[in-house]
Structure 1
Amino acid sequence: MYVIGTAGHVDHGKSTLVKALTGIDPDRWEEEKRRQMTIDLGFAWVTLPSGQTISLVDVPGHERFIKNMLAGVGGIDAALLIIAADESVMPQTLEHLAILDLLGIEHGLVVLTKTDLVDADWLALVHDDLDQVLTDTTFAQLCRVAVSARTGDGLAELLAALDQLVATLPARSQQQGIPRLPIDRSFPIDGFGTVVTGTLLGGPLHTGQEVLVGPGDHKARIRGLQVHQSRQEQVDPGSRVAVNLSGIRHHQIERGHLLTLPGAITPTRLIDVSLRVIPRIERPVTHNMALDLFVGAAEVRCRAALLDADVLEPGQTGWVQLRLEQPLMVIAGERFIVRQPSPSLTLGGGQIIDPQPRRHRRFRDDVIASLEIRQRGTPAELLLQALNTNSPCTWADLCTAAVLDTQLAAAGLAELRQQQSVLLLAQPSSDMQADTVLVTAERWHALQQALVPIVQRYHQRFPLRRGMPREELRQRLKLFPRIANAVFIEAATQQLLALNETSVWLVDHTPTPNPHQRQQLDDLLAALAQKPYAPPPPELDAELLAWALDQGLLIRVSPDVCFLPATYEELLQWVIATINEHGSVQLGQFRDRFGSSRKYALALLEHLDACNITRRSGEGRVLAKC
């Protein structure tokens, strides 16, 4: 489904045309009807002659409500540039046209309204004006349609032109990417709760899905979805959608907030952008200038740090770091507009290049080169740059960071693997999965150089331990759990490390007591052999005792009672045999049989209870499985 937006000067008939096409009045507010002027966004839909349904977003034309206009055009696929034939091109016509140009809206129609008020000669003059105004814009070669919403003349031709327009629009990817819904409305409905609306971008949403509304941390769940007042179980990108949310109140949500998946997009206060200043204005953009930033449905005050110039004159393009007063949730590739706060004036716009940059110093060649690769690089260059910043990372995260679909990314990855610039960690095949972990060759070498000495130092500190806890090594290397797991498995595959479910160790590491510790242990084992059923407490340091237990030289049944393995096995078999013969075993039987004290009998039996071999029954023990 495609979304078409209106654009044009106030009172040029945008809302009237939408109502004539759809039968839906997009002016929702009483004040709009009283003043006969659109103040906020309006929404409608129409089924074209081909049977395809499109959404229409009606935006205000008055200069005082340009902020509302910007909230509506962020997610559109094409635009209807509407010019009243009796007035021709007016100031907001030019401003809206510049905004569409900056947002990269390349598809649309030029619609001349109110043609019933002019004659053919006047209409020809309007076309001459448009020829001059549209030169060097994306709308220069677009189809023009003349209509009268009052008489109905030209409406059929306009619907046919919309059908032809939709047929030329690029197909939307239905499943790839992160679902993003820039919220343009939030309101409550009795019996249902909070409802938000917007144009869905990136990926699908479905009922029951857990979502996050940011830049705060408001988690919610989707109770229901509607498109054009029709209930849906799943909604694909490109749809105008109403989302019924549970777990969040409508007053917690504002226009400009973003609905997405938890953890998918990190809020930011710094954005690297390519900024183009509108050619037809007289105001340049200067370093550290205060601007209002519009992206998606959001508006945020910011400062412009010019990275490669002291000033950007009208018509110029430059690299800028926008430093925001409030956090935003955005992704690379999104389009934006900047305006002068006072007096209010649209200055320019462009594309977000890096939504999570560091704070840059100005006039740095390496910073400029990095931004140029991000903007114009080949898929291989984009992947490598993203991986240099985020290495190691998963395939899904890498595609998102590089702003590439999986097909282009796969081609770039094949080139990098051929160059041996990138490795797949713990991956037995070349089939890429979303959670496949990748790392640059340089970063993998650095990880190898780091992890072996870390584990080596751990062995030196704790020579009797089998290995270093995996979680401790993960934290030392500052890796996410999924990434760390792949790194450890790959290191084991390359025989740098050995590992089990809990620990890692060097392949040549064998825990061995020193001579003093060996003598201590031998003395304890001899004492246990002399008094097998009333053993002395294991007075060994904690490391040596843990090693002896790990090696199976001792079996510990309580903090101060250990038995030799042969003694423990003898006692265990006696307990089982006694229960089988007499139905249970008593503490006194143990004491009498082995000449031991209650302390050792109780320690053993409670240990067997904990191991689920026995269980208490009255004054004695029975087998747990009986």
Structure 2
Amino acid sequence: LLVIAADDGVMPQTREHLAVLELLGVARGAVALTKIDRVSATRLHEVQVEVTRLLAPTALGGAPMFMINATAAQDPGTDSLRRYLHAAAMGRDVTGTCAVACCSPAGNADGLLRLAVDRVFTLAGLGTLVTGTVFSGCVRTGDTVAVMPANKPSRVRSIHTQNRASEAGYAGQRCALNLVGIDRDEVARGDWVADQRALVPTTRVDVRLGLLADCAHRVAAWTPLHIHIGTAHRVAHSVLLESEHLSAGQSGRVQLVFDAAICAVPGDRFVARDAQATRTVGGGVVLDPRAPARKRRSIERLKYLAALEQMVAGEGMGPVLQESPLGLKMTDLVRLSGKPPERVPVPPEALTIEAGHDRVVVLPAHWRAARERAVAALRTFHEHTPDEPGPDIGRLRRIAQPDMSDALWRTLIDELVVECLILRSGPWLHLPGHAVTLSEADQALALRLQPLIASGRFDPPWVRELAAAVHEPEERVRQVLRKQVTRGSVYQVVHDLFYDSQRVGELAEVAATLAGERGELNAAQYRDAIGLGRKRTIQILEFFDRVGYTRRVRDSHVLRKDSGWLAARRDSSG
């Protein structure tokens, strides 16, 4: 409802209020011309013409205009406005939407609950009460909710909607909630009472920011802005993602870095004011409420933001999934859409994959590409290291798809193993054609070599010493041992030095014990523990780095948490 005094006419603040309505995406409304008793009929007509011209190019063009004389006991204009507002309110109740809630794609009855808190108080015998507008979803007596961004759980004891006791409150309604389990000082204006699945606290939000045509300010790197979103008022600094600056009338993608945590959903509208908070400079729409601090200007990132803009415009999750080659967790899709899992607008062709405790939604083309990358990476590994049995599952992930979650990667590998596109030999993964068989003569020689290697424990004989002991040529011994490496019976630590697999498992156990809770060890500690010289100790640690059991960090070796190597060694020894 745009209120304009007839004796003043259109004022600068009127234009600012209209600009704010446009920035918030409000497409329905009415005009109330007040104080008509203070002006002549000629002046009233002039103001009507002025207002009509002002509204014509906006979304409120053609909005009904009501002449209000508040001094009259039964003013017909006031009665007409009251009837109009009542009819509009009844229409909102039927559809479950309103002008404010429609600013967000989640602003409807089938979304997750989000109530923007604008007032907090206490009443004797009741405790903490909050009032606000339900942006989306529904709240019922007895519901468990979260006060965000503090993420404080609470329970709804009772509800008042439109000043009446009620069992439920719906999108678009004004509600008062009596909250149990939360103190008055744990919730404030600007907070959200929400379904816990809907929101995650954040200090970085990627947005589409537009500046007003008459804006006298230019937004550049780290320009401070006062941001009004929901009922929150926060200070943020601007990081432009596509240009060096924004001037009057321009718009662009910007990352807002807030001084304190906020919560938002893609599609939420906001208003931006200058550093002194004295003038509205623009506003826009939230794209990604969980924006990254790194690679925020990369081509892939900008494509993803473009897909989010398509989603906000009503094109569903298809564009977003198209720009997500690793898929998206269902929990992320819920937060992006503001809807419960069963109502997320996922394309019918999308795959839903169980990955540990998560469900990941991915397009079939992306899943096929990930499978192909895994097989191709394993093929390349065999080509470069034909004497190794293959990588373990964690090492292959780091080679082929380091950005994929461990749970999703294991699901992918399990699928390939079931289809026999990849085979498992103990902890090792290999292609079917990489399996090695030994001739009877080779098997006989391997049986003679194995105890000699094992007897050396942590300091086994070199190939030349083994060849002399079994009276065979060095090259033949070397070839048989390389085949045994592929079978997982021995490991080649350095050229011509092979360790028994059980002894390597013992060496790994020693490393794990030394690493302890810190998860790291150095060469000096390890040398003293295994009783070898420094050179051999470093060779063993470098071997562990190579097979993915540890990784070198300056002068230390850190145990990899995603390596199945030690567990597999324990299983084989058990």
The two structures have a TM-score, normalised by structure 2, of 0.61
> 1:346–1:90: structure 2 CA closer, same or farther, 3 Å change rule?
same
Distance, in Å, in 2 between the alignment partners of 1:90 and 1:515 is 97
Tell me how far 1:408 sits from its aligned partner. 9.7
Out of 328, 336, 339, the position equivalent to 1:401 is 336
> Closer, same or farther in 2 for the Cα pair 1:283/1:543, shift >3 Å?
closer
* 2:175 is aligned with 1:241: yes
Matched, 1:82 2:3: yes
Partner of residue 383 from structure 1, selected from 318, 321, 326? 318
Match for residue 298 of structure 1 among 232, 239, 243: 232
Is the 1:294–1:338 Cα contact (8 Å) retained in structure 2?
A: yes
Alignment pair present for 1:345 and 2:279: yes
User: 1:321–1:542: structure 2 CA closer, same or farther, 3 Å change rule?
Assistant: same
Distance 1:399 1:387 in 2: 17
Across the two proteins, how many residue pairs are aligned to each other?
A: 423
Give the conservation status (yes or no) of the 8 Å contact 2:303–2:323.
no
Distance 1:486 1:264 in 2: 27
Equivalent position to 2:31, from 86, 89, 110: 110
Q: Cα offset for 1:99?
A: 0.7
In 2, Cα distance between the equivalents of 1:484 and 1:367? 23
- Residues 88-110 of structure 1 show CA distances to partners (whole Å, capped at 9, x for unaligned) of 22232222111111101110101
Q: C-alpha distance in 2, partners of 1:327/1:100? A: 25
Other-structure match for 1:192? 126
CA distance in 1 between partners of 2:166 and 2:91 (Å): 27
The residue aligned with 1:446 is 370
Aligned counterpart for 1:283 among listed residues 217, 222, 232: 217
1:122 to 2:43 alignment = yes
The answer to whether the Cα contact below 8 Å between 1:423 and 1:438 also exists between their aligned partners in 2 is: yes
Residue segments in structure 1 that go unaligned for 5+ positions in a row: 1-79, 428-434, 469-475, 520-540, 545-626
1:138 maps to what in 2? 59
Say whether the 8 Å CA contact 1:360–1:367 is kept in structure 2.
no
Equivalent pair of 1:205/1:235 in contact (CA under 8 Å): yes
- CA pair 480-367 structure 1, distance change in 2 beyond 3 A: closer
Please state if 1:94 is matched with 2:22: no
Q: Distance in 2 between matches of 1:491 and 1:444?
A: 11
Once superposed, what is the RMSD of the aligned Cα atoms?
A: 4.7
1:356 aligned to 272, 287, 290, which one? 290
**Contact conserved, 2:198 with 2:334, CA < 8 A, in 1?**
no
- 2:266 equivalent to 1:312: no
After TM superposition, list the pairs within 5 Å mapping 1:376-525 onto structure 2.
376=310, 382-386=317-321, 388-389=323-324, 391-395=326-330, 397-398=332-333, 400-401=335-336, 410=345, 413-414=347-348, 417=349, 422-425=350-353, 437-440=360-363, 441-443=365-367, 445-446=369-370, 479=405, 494=419
- Deviation digits for residues 472-492 of structure 1, max 9, x if unmatched? xxxx997487x6897687567
Once the two structures are superposed, what CA deviation does each residue of 1:348-407 show, in whole Å capped at 9, x if it has no partner? Answer: 001011111223668755544433332136877843434644844455643642678999
Counterpart pick for 2:255 among 310, 313, 321: 321
Of residues 224, 232, 235, the one that matches 2:166 is 232
When Rg is computed on C-alpha atoms for both structures, the one with the higher figure is 1
Quick one: percent identity of the two aligned structures?
27
Note if contact 1:269-1:323 (Cα within 8 Å) is conserved in structure 2: yes
Contact 1:497 1:504 in 2 (8 A): no
Q: 1:309 to 1:171 in 2, by over 3 A?
A: same
Instruction: Check conservation: 2:112, 2:340, Cα contact below 8 A.
Output: no
Q: 2:114, 2:193 within 8 Å by CA — same for their partners in 1?
A: yes
User: Is residue 2:200 matched to residue 1:266?
Assistant: yes
**Alignment match of 2:149 (pick from 215, 225, 242):** 215
Q: CA deviation at 1:117?
A: 2.2
Question: Structure 1 pair 490/199, CA: closer, same or farther in 2 (3 Å)?
Answer: farther
Counterparts of 1:161 and 1:251 in 2: how far apart (Å)?
Answer: 39
How far residue 244 of structure 1 moved from its aligned partner, in angstroms, is 1.5
Structure 2: distance between partners of 1:406 and 1:107: 31
Give per-residue Cα distances to partners, 1:114-136, cap 9 Å, x unaligned: 22222311210111221333242
- Tell me, what secondary structure is at the counterpart of 1:133? helix
What CA deviation, in whole Å up to 9, does each residue of 1:7-34 have, x standing for no partner?
xxxxxxxxxxxxxxxxxxxxxxxxxxxx
**Secondary structure in 1 aligned to 2:213?**
coil
Alignment of 1:53-72 (within 5 A): none
Tell whether the 8 Å contact from 2:70 to 2:78 is kept in structure 1 after alignment.
yes
Per the alignment, in what secondary structure is the counterpart of residue 201 of structure 1?
strand
Is the alpha carbon distance of 1:108 and 1:360 closer, same or farther for their aligned partners in structure 2, counting shifts above 3 Å? farther
Q: In the alignment, which residue of structure 1 is the partner of 2:544?
A: none
Q: Is the 8 A contact 2:307 2:319 kept in 1?
A: no
Q: CA deviation at 1:202?
A: 2.3
Q: Is the 8 A contact 1:221 1:247 kept in 2?
A: yes
- 1:269 corresponds to which letter in structure 2? T
- Conserved 8 A contact 1:286-1:306: yes
Structure 2 Cα separation of the partners of residues 297 and 119 of structure 1: 40
Distance 2:266 2:143 in 1: 25
Is the contact made by 1:394 and 1:438 (CA closer than 8 Å) also made in structure 2?
yes
| CA separation of 1:85 and 1:443: change in aligned 2, threshold 3 A | same
Q: How has the CA–CA distance of structure 1 residues 402 and 487 changed in structure 2, closer, same or farther, with 3 Å as cutoff?
A: farther
**Residues 330 and 341 in structure 2, CA contact (< 8 A), matched pair in contact too:** no
Contact 2:117 2:130 in 1 (8 A): yes
CA distance, structure 1, for counterparts of residue 91 and residue 38 of structure 2: 32
Q: How far 1:143 sits from its partner (Å)?
A: 0.8
1:403-462: CA deviations, max 9, x gaps? 78999965x613xx3xxxx433369xxxxxxx8642233356436866997xx9xx9899
What residue is the counterpart of 1:34 in the other structure? none
Change (3 A) 1:497 1:363: closer
Q: For residues 371 and 88 of structure 1, do their structure 2 counterparts lie closer, same or farther at Cα, with a shift above 3 Å needed?
A: same
